[in-house]
Structure 1
């Protein structure tokens, strides 16, 4: 895939390195000469330009990109880049970095954002995940807030130990997408047994998260 990243600061460069390792074609767009260091990532294409200017994005050939990542440290810039990418160049997937959690409500389909990534929220979620074994932790919001990636680690005393995935009886707007167990990534099958310590990742809408929590603790949602 061809992926354009607006913002070549520490975050943008880190993303670029990861994508290059995955054999993707990466374009870094940076407007500040202080952050313009092509030698740092020679495998990427670099462009010194303002990603908020339509002419710059036209020169970059944004219409040929499969994904655009707005990764600057300025939320206003990230919103403008997202909107231009989606409305003017019909980029299929737009990912935007949210720097200030108070601005997160803006990063929606109306601004061209498909996936909003809030670093403060993710850090908070990681802390919750580390200390709240057995509780449901929201890791990321997907598709303009319509669904979330949530995680729960089954505690040692889980009533689900030994039960099968099929026994979870998840609501229709939720799916168990993977189980992490002892360094293994398991694609869950109906007959797979659950074990204490399993880290379970679900995609679900917010309305059914309480139901998932009740299922994990083997009780009714109203308890």
Structure 2
């Protein structure tokens, strides 16, 4: 599936990481050039700088051939414009948009090209399920056609992995770390990254159980 995610905040980046780690072709679009540069080089996805409200830029980054557009910027007006362009200008089959302010929820419907409106408080897994139409959930996420699970674990002071580098942790068979989120920002999962209390990890596996993941880090 070809996916375009507009907005590279914490949520948008986690969505992009989860979807790309399960075999989807994901492009993450971010208006702020500094933020886009910070994310450049994250594995398994394309990160581009640009204004997703600009139809020309949307076309440049592949909106014409997208199966799914997810608008998760911090501004409702931007998410609505992106959704409308995706649906009306580019004929994208499925469009999901985040609702940041509850009083604006009434606008997020088919009139603005929104197939799935997701409140800001919706957990990551629910947003991905709603956006993709996937319903087969085990642990955090299993995209139905991929047969791959995306699981989440958090590091605290008591975690056995606290203070260790990723390279020092023996992961279960068939498991990779997709990203380490620290202070709300994703970090490329290089072997030398040392885990600290407060870190959150997204892991992708086609074999490990949730208990095995827990045992490796906790």
Compute the TM-score of the two structures, normalised by the length of structure 1.
0.54
CA distance in 1 between partners of 2:61 and 2:27 (Å):
8
Matched, 1:21 2:21: yes
CA distance in 2 between partners of 1:178 and 1:13 (Å):
22
Q: What is the match of residue 94 of structure 1?
A: 95
CA distance in 1 between partners of 2:41 and 2:62 (Å):
23
Matched, 1:9 2:4: no
Q: What is the match of residue 106 of structure 1?
A: 107
* Higher Rg of the two aligned structures: 1
Shift of residue 40, structure 1, vs aligned partner? 5.7
Gaps of 5+ in 1: 124-138, 144-176, 181-223
Counting only pairs closer than 5 Å after superposition, residues 26-37 of structure 1 correspond to structure 2 as 26-36=26-36, 37=38
CA distance in 1 between partners of 2:53 and 2:16 (Å):
20
Change (3 A) 1:102 1:25: same
Shift of residue 39, structure 1, vs aligned partner? 3.6
Q: What is the match of residue 66 of structure 2?
A: 65
Shift of residue 87, structure 1, vs aligned partner? 0.2
SS state of the match for residue 52, structure 1? coil
Change (3 A) 1:178 1:66: closer
Shift of residue 119, structure 1, vs aligned partner? 2.1
**Is the contact made by 1:3 and 1:25 (CA closer than 8 Å) also made in structure 2?**
yes
Gaps of 5+ in 2: 139-218
Counting only pairs closer than 5 Å after superposition, residues 1-223 of structure 1 correspond to structure 2 as 1-36=1-36, 37-39=38-40, 41-120=42-121, 122=122
**Is the contact made by 1:79 and 1:111 (CA closer than 8 Å) also made in structure 2?**
yes
**Is the contact made by 2:21 and 2:44 (CA closer than 8 Å) also made in structure 1?**
no
RMSD: 2.6
**Is the contact made by 1:13 and 1:41 (CA closer than 8 Å) also made in structure 2?**
no
Compute the TM-score of the two structures, normalised by the length of structure 2.
0.55
CA distance in 1 between partners of 2:120 and 2:10 (Å):
13
Q: What is the match of residue 153 of structure 1?
A: none
CA distance in 2 between partners of 1:86 and 1:178 (Å):
26
CA distance in 2 between partners of 1:30 and 1:178 (Å):
30
**Is the contact made by 1:2 and 1:66 (CA closer than 8 Å) also made in structure 2?**
yes
Q: How many residues align?
A: 131
Which of 1 and 2 has higher RCO (CA within 8 Å, sep 6+)? 2
Displaced runs of 4 or more, over 4 A: 177-180
